[in-house]
């Protein structure tokens, strides 16, 4: 026996067995009491000296310990998005069951062409290892471009069944909210739950990254009229309640002016005698106008309106000023362990959806797992009969996992095939959680900006038909050259471009050979071999000023040395800790690999990595009075930049 099989993972088996058992209880229109489950639930144990498993009770110990373990298991199942129903049985006892539709979306059958575009789309914009990528791709997922949240599943469920939702939410203070969810808006790389306050209150947006507890679907039903639907559809992320349009005039260089005119509808530009260019843009509120000026940093000089100039001066004077605890005194939680339940269900559903089954090697490659771990998980699914001695024999599951071995004498190392035999034609399971359909929808709409394919839109139609159009997707970024970049990638063309780097004063000319396109935090990035720099580089598409020339690629550049290039910055550079107020969390939430901890004074500490100090300078400029660096090396980050901008006013 290999060492993984000699060990025991009772937690994994117990939770998986409990999920499958309570789902079957729902299908059989009955429920199971806690006493029945604790008494009769069985899992496999692999003694180190035995070749085959033996059935042992899942819950052992004294009564208090057993019941605490049962409650913890229920909480972990709910955290994956399944709703455990509590019902009163005819005999007066309390029973439990799981409605599979609380976690799983309806089965959707994609044509081969639709499967192809879905696989491509997920590579461009997906959850990565946590999402639906491996259902459609035979290799491991790379870095994804969407915020992942298990909270999406109960939220979408509540929208579809028109039931109230309860969750903890952090704004200026953390408190429990009870809302009537109406739809989900995905905008600028972030997802918002658009909901009405319970009892017919105001319509508000709740950012998923600030929900701090698993949402609970309540029994309270609600009704929505057309006026309420229209109000929900009109909601947008704003940072003040009554936005007032404002005309802003800035001075900048010609390269950046051309970029702004292309990105902002209605923007106008006028050449001045000194070579500078004045650009006029209308914003929907003073707040968004101020954020635009801050994002431009030294590349723009604010001219009008005067009240905004005054506000900007006050903002600059307070960049990275204030007190914070020492970085070494802050304790961040350890990285969470892998989700054993989600991992097991992903393997199970991959086998469910493979007509001829999948080999150990195929599953290991697809999910980036050790082959011995795949054998361990799948082997226990093969033998799973959780209540074999109860209720007149084993409760039937929708499918039985079967194992085909080429060499039974060397079973422990054989590249065995696992396949599913369904109990009936009506028991076909869906491979998708509700959040997976959200991911597919967003990814397909991102892909539709790159290439025109009828299969994209037919796949979107199937998803939205199954989900009743639960999500709106908006792309505020104006990336007019995106299709041209993707066309160059597929045609193997070298592009000569003018490029405005993050904080550069003016554009420079680069020759690039595109290799991959991905989306992260609302921006599209192209990975390319930069002939000008003779190295692999990452470029943001909305910073490309113009495509100056095209030519066919003639040289082989080899393999990109960086696999997860989209989020590589999250693992490199200096570690920095910043203490932030709740209202500026959004500035830091999109940083790859950021870790958070709540402080006693109501603020938060965020830890991340910085490759270039100029990046941190700009980050602190945008955060302004709401953030202060705790790491000693960077306590003056942003000061010099703020002073230079103030000197231009």
Rounded Cα–Cα distance for residues 444 and 447 (Å): 5
Rounded Cα–Cα distance for residues 321 and 638 (Å): 10
Rounded Cα–Cα distance for residues 599 and 323 (Å): 13
- Choose the weakest-confidence range: 8-12, 127-131, 191-195: 8-12
Percentages helix, strand, coil for the chain, rounded to the nearest 5? Answer: 40, 25, 35
Q: What is the mean pLDDT of the chain?
A: 83
- CATH of region 482-563: 2.30.30
Q: State what percent of residues in the chain have pLDDT above 70.
A: 89
Q: Which two tokens stand for residue 319?
A: 């960049």
Task: State which of 387-396, 484-493, 580-589 shows the largest mean pLDDT.
Answer: 484-493
Rounded Cα–Cα distance for residues 479 and 527 (Å): 16
Rounded Cα–Cα distance for residues 185 and 232 (Å): 10
Domains 482-563 and 569-648 fall in the same CATH topology:
no
- 246-316 under CATH 3.40.50, yes or no: no
| Residue 7 pLDDT | 39
Nearest CA to 144 out of 123, 116, 120 is that of 123
pLDDT digits (tens, 9 = 90+) for 151-186: 888 898 889 889 999 999 877 677 899 999 999 999
Question: Order of strands across the sheet with 595-598?
Answer: 595-598, 604-610, 574-580, 627-629
Rounded Cα–Cα distance for residues 288 and 240 (Å): 10
pLDDT digits (tens, 9 = 90+) for 537-581: 999 888 888 899 999 998 888 888 887 788 776 667 889 999 998
Long-range pairs of 34-41 with CB within 8 A, sequence gap ≥ 24: 34/67, 34/70, 34/94, 34/96, 36/390, 37/70, 37/96, 38/66, 38/67, 38/70, 39/390, 40/387, 40/389, 40/390, 40/391, 41/14, 41/17, 41/386, 41/387
* DSSP secondary structure string for all residues of 528-568: EEETTTTEEEEEEGGGEEEEEEEEE--S-----S-SSTTSG
- What b/e string do you get for 604-637 counting C-beta neighbours within 10 Å, with b at 16 or more? bbbbbbbeeeebbbbbbbbbbbbbbbbbeebeeb
Model confidence at 8: pLDDT above 50: no
Rounded Cα–Cα distance for residues 485 and 543 (Å): 12
pLDDT digits (tens, 9 = 90+) for 234-293: 898 865 455 578 899 999 988 888 888 888 888 899 988 777 899 999 988 888 889 899
Q: To which H or E segment does residue 588 belong? A: helix 585-589
Determine phi and psi for 468, rounding to 5 degrees: 60, 40
| Residue 579 pLDDT | 94
Model confidence at 386: pLDDT above 80: no
| Residue 3 pLDDT | 37
353 CB burial (10 A radius; 0-12, 13-18, 19+): middle
Q: Could you tell me how many residues make up the chain?
A: 649
592 CB burial (10 A radius; 0-12, 13-18, 19+): middle
pLDDT digits (tens, 9 = 90+) for 499-537: 988 766 778 899 999 998 888 877 889 999 999 999 999
Q: How far is CA 401 from the centre of its chain?
A: 30
Rounded Cα–Cα distance for residues 232 and 230 (Å): 5
Q: Phi/psi zone of residue 534: left (φ > 0), alpha (ψ -120 to 50 degrees), beta?
A: left
| Residue 275 pLDDT | 78
State the residue for tokens 């920095």: 576
Question: Could you check whether the bond before residue 29 is cis, i.e. omega within 30 degrees of 0?
Answer: no
| Residue 311 pLDDT | 92
| Residue 479 pLDDT | 76
Model confidence at 46: pLDDT above 80: no
- CATH of region 569-648: 3.30.70
Nearest CA to 210 out of 520, 580, 622 is that of 580
N- to C-terminal Cα separation, the chain:
73
Rounded Cα–Cα distance for residues 417 and 282 (Å): 61
Question: Is residue 538 a contact partner of residue 516, using CB atoms and an 8 Å limit?
Answer: no
Model confidence at 495: pLDDT above 90: yes
Domain parsing of the chain, residue ranges: 3-102+354-427, 246-316, 482-563, 569-648
pLDDT digits (tens, 9 = 90+) for 338-378: 556 667 777 887 887 788 889 999 998 888 888 988 888 88
Q: Is 527 helix (H, G, I), strand (E, B) or coil?
A: strand
Question: Is residue 392 a contact partner of residue 373, using CB atoms and an 8 Å limit?
Answer: no
């Amino acid at each position: 026996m290999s060492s993984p099989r000699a060990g025991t993972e009772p937690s994994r088996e117990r939770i998986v067995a409990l999920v499958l058992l309570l789902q079957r209880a729902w299908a059989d229109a009955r429920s199971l009491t806690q006493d029945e489950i604790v008494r009769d639930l069985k899992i496999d144990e692999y003694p180190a000296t035995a070749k085959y498993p033996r059935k042992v009770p899942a819950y052992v110990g004294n009564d208090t310990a057993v019941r605490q373990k049962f409650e913890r298991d229920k909480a972990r199942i709910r955290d994956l998005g399944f709703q455990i129903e509590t019902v009163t049985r005819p005999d007066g006892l309390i029973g439990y069951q799981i409605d599979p539709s609380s976690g799983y979306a309806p089965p959707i059958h994609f044509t081969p062409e639709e499967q192809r575009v879905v696989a491509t789309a997920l590579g461009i914009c997906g959850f990565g290892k946590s999402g639906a990528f491996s259902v459609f791709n035979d290799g491991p997922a790379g870095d994804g471009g969407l915020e992942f949240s298990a909270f999406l599943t109960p939220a979408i469920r509540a929208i579809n069944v028109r039931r109230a939702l309860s969750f903890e939410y952090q704004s200026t203070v953390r408190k429990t909210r009870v809302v009537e969810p109406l739809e989900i808006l995905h905008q600028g790389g972030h997802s918002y739950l658009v909901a009405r306050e319970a009892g017919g209150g105001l319509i508000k947006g709740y950012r998923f990254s600030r929900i701090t507890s698993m949402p609970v679907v309540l029994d309270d039903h609600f009704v929505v009229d057309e006026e309420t639907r229209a109000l929900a559809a009109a909601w947008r992320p704003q940072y003040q309640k009554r936005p007032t349009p404002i005309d802003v005039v800035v001075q900048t260089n010609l390269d950046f002016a051309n970029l702004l005119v292309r990105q902002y509808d209605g923007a106008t530009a006028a050449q001045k005698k000194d070579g500078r260019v004045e650009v006029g843009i209308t914003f929907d509120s003073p707040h968004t106008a101020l954020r635009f000026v801050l994002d431009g940093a030294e590349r723009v000089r604010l001219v009008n309106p005067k009240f905004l100039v005054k506000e900007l001066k006050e903002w600059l004077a307070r960049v990275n000023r204030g007190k914070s605890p020492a970085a070494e005194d802050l304790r961040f939680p350890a990285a969470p362990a892998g989700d054993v339940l989600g991992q097991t269900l992903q393997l199970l559903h991959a086998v469910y959806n493979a007509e001829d089954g999948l080999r150990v090697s195929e599953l290991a490659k697809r999910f980036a797992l050790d082959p011995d771990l795949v054998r361990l998980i799948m082997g226990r699914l093969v033998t799973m009969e959780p209540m074999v001695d109860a209720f007149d024999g084993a409760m039937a599951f929708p499918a039985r996992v079967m194992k085909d071995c080429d060499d039974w004498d060397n079973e422990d190392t054989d590249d065995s095939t696992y396949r599913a035999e369904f109990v009936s034609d009506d028991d076909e399971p869906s491979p998708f959680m509700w959040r997976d359909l959200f991911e597919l929808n967003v990814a397909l709409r991102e892909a539709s900006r790159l290439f025109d394919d009828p299969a994209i839109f037919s796949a979107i139609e199937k998803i939205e038909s199954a989900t009743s159009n639960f999500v709106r997707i908006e792309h505020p970024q104006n990336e007019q050259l995106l299709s041209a970049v993707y066309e160059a990638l597929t045609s193997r063309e070298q592009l000569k471009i003018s490029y405005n780097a993050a904080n550069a004063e003016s554009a420079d000319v680069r020759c690039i050979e595109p290799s991959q396109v991905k989306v992260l935090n609302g921006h599209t990035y192209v990975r390319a071999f930069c002939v000008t720099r003779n190295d692999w580089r990452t470029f943001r598409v909305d910073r490309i000023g113009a495509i100056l020339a095209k030519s066919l690629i003639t040289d082989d550049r080899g393999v990109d040395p960086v696999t997860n290039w989209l989020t590589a910055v999250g693992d490199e550079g200096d570690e920095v800790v910043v203490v932030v107020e709740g209202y500026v969390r959004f500035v830091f939430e999109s940083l790859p690999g950021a870790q958070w901890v709540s402080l006693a004074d109501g603020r938060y500490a965020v830890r991340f990595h910085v490759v270039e100090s100029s990046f941190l300078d700009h980050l602190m400029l945008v955060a302004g009075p709401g953030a202060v660096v705790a790491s000693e090396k960077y306590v003056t980050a942003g000061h010099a930049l703020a002073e230079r901008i103030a000197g231009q006013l």
